[in-house]
Structure 1
Amino acid sequence: MSTPSADSPSAARSKPRAEQEPPPLPEPLAVPVADSHTHLDMQVPSVAEALRDAASVGVTTVIQVGCDLERSRWAADVAADWENVWAAVALHPNEAPRLAAEEGEEALDEALAGIEKLAALPQVLAVGETGLDHFRTGEEGKAAQQRSFRAHIALAKRLNKALVIHDRDAHADVLRILDEEGAPERTVFHCYSGDAEMARHCAERGWFMSFAGNVTFKNAQPLRDALAVAPPELVLVETDAPFLTPSPYRGRPNAPYLVPVTLRAMAETKGMTEETLARHVAANTARAFGY
């Protein structure tokens, strides 16, 4: 079998995402917006570089999201250090069952207590990402995952913080638990993955839907159908960086500065001008997270 040349497309695909050349800076947005969900701790550039590049294209605020206790502490620290960064803290839906299985239920309780302390900090505006993931967690982990989700819902309500939901292949159970527990006043579906019917359900309840770069993927028509029916006053944009890099840069490292690529595709789907959608997104993100 022949080896691809270093600059061939197949060679690029074979490289780890972080080692590939970052996409170029897009044209700046005329109306500044926020990246409602990113993981700066998983990205190659420094925080200063990431924020500089984002601001240069009109992404002036970012929500840094923690996925376990250690990363949540990091998120809270970064948000304390940077004026335009806010934090969300939680145990990811896959972290909760891992803790319970490997270290016991007491370890899960201790981690949840640690998240509660962090969530009370003023720079922490949200509890998340929490929720359910039926893609990576099997039947043996569902009880711990659901227990953790319910605890995070209660925490968000107790502290009057936004709730940021991770929902992967678990739509019915996520909606059921939200109904059983009572959703917080400000609930955000991160990296929205439902269909148009679910978008209508979320809209009826006033829940925010945050769309990521995968809305630009060729095979993502159901996501675009959902975006099309989502009310403009409930739509957010995010990167989930370093993941879900929008087309035409799919597979290369994602970062907050690529929000304009996704937002422009979203505006086209909704039949809105870039500026009009950006104004909605900017106001929505501030309202959802309370800054």
Structure 2
Amino acid sequence: MSAKDAPPPLPEPLLVEVADSHTHMDLQSGTVEEALVKAAAVGVTTVVQVGCDVKGSQWAAETAAAHENVHAAVALHPNEAPRIVLGDPDGWSRQGARQGGGDSALDDALNEIDRLAALPHVLGVGETGLDFFRTGPEGIAAQERSFRAHIEIAKRHGKTLVIHDREAHADVLRVLDEEGAPERTVFHCYSGDAAMAEICAAKGYYMSFAGNVTFKNAQPLRDALAIAPLELVLVETDAPFLTPAPFRGRPNAPYLIPVTVRAMAEVRGIGENELAGAIAVNTARAFDY
């Protein structure tokens, strides 16, 4: 195993326990039990396992049912909806589409997400939203239809809505306004600037910051974090992606949350214990557990 592929070392434990509000343990190496033990060793005692397609959402629900400190969110990722409708086994891309299953196939997938969302150990509907980075013009209608359906599912079941927003800020906010956002809405891996953070704050949307807040080129994210109301701030890994500096490029996992928490506390100008305490309260409120 090369140094780049090697897992980063365990950070110094947090003294105040926190939650990883968004992770993908099904995409990480090792077992769920191993991931949870490593996370708990550094003060990360709760994780939200997020599904991105039907199979992943089923796995998330099963994993949450089997582990008291794992909660599930279920959804079709924004890039999954065009893949289902238009056909692209690698996810929708600008290169065009293969023959897909059409709207009926998307309806079938959404019906399964609806069924899973009713389960008691499923606390969130997401990650859903819009992604204009990977989706070409032909896929936008399917994305938006799926997004609106997920909003309805979240509201009907009283579950938290978990937003994926990539290069689609204005349209995500527009759809939320048009449909009416659920009582609890989380912008996962917050990617907006300070001006958007003010909009989210006014609407009571939670903003969850990932390891990319530590990247050198991420000053707009740090500016947003600096002005976001403390009671609306969450932390996440989005593991195995977005590993925080100085381990960028190596595998991410829930146990690396303390690295991001410490960087966030520095941006906020407060102690890590104060920030961790706020995050713990906020995450429990955001996902109603």
Bucket of the pairwise TM-score, normalised by the shorter protein = over 0.9
Aligned match of 2:227 in 217, 229, 241?
229
Q: What is the CA-CA distance between 1:200 and the residue it aligns to?
A: 0.5
Whole-Å Cα distance in 1 between the matches of residues 116 and 230 of structure 2?
32
State percent identity of aligned pairs.
73
- Alignment map for 1:1-291 (pairs within 5 Å): 12=3, 20-101=5-86, 102-291=100-289
Amino acid at match of 2:263: A
Root-mean-square deviation (CA), in Å? Answer: 0.9
Amino acid at match of 1:36: S
Whole-Å Cα distance in 2 between the matches of residues 253 and 90 of structure 1?
24
Unpaired segments of 5 or more residues in structure 1?
1-5, 14-19
Amino acid at match of 1:25: L
Amino acid at match of 1:262: T
Q: What is the CA-CA distance between 1:103 and the residue it aligns to?
A: 1.4
Whole-Å Cα distance in 2 between the matches of residues 225 and 156 of structure 1?
30
TM-score (norm: length of structure 1) = 0.94
Structure 1's consecutive aligned runs of 4 or more residues displaced over 4 angstroms after TM superposition are: none
Aligned residues: 276
Amino acid at match of 2:60: A
TM-score (norm: length of structure 2) = 0.95
Q: What is the CA-CA distance between 1:196 and the residue it aligns to?
A: 0.0
Whole-Å Cα distance in 2 between the matches of residues 87 and 93 of structure 1?
18
Q: What is the CA-CA distance between 1:273 and the residue it aligns to?
A: 0.5
Amino acid at match of 2:195: E
CA deviation string 1:236-286 (max 9, x = no partner): 000000000000000000000000000000000000100000011000000
The alignment partner of 1:280 has SS state of helix
The alignment partner of 2:208 has SS state of strand
Amino acid at match of 2:210: A
The residue aligned with 1:16 is: none
Whole-Å Cα distance in 2 between the matches of residues 290 and 45 of structure 1?
29
Q: What is the CA-CA distance between 1:207 and the residue it aligns to?
A: 0.5
The alignment partner of 1:64 has SS state of strand
Q: What is the CA-CA distance between 1:104 and the residue it aligns to?
A: 1.2
Amino acid at match of 2:180: G
Q: What is the CA-CA distance between 1:194 and the residue it aligns to?
A: 0.1
The alignment partner of 2:73 has SS state of strand
Unpaired segments of 5 or more residues in structure 2?
87-99
Whole-Å Cα distance in 2 between the matches of residues 148 and 280 of structure 1?
33
CA deviation string 1:188-243 (max 9, x = no partner): 00000000000000000110000000000000000000000001000000000000
Whole-Å Cα distance in 1 between the matches of residues 238 and 228 of structure 2?
20
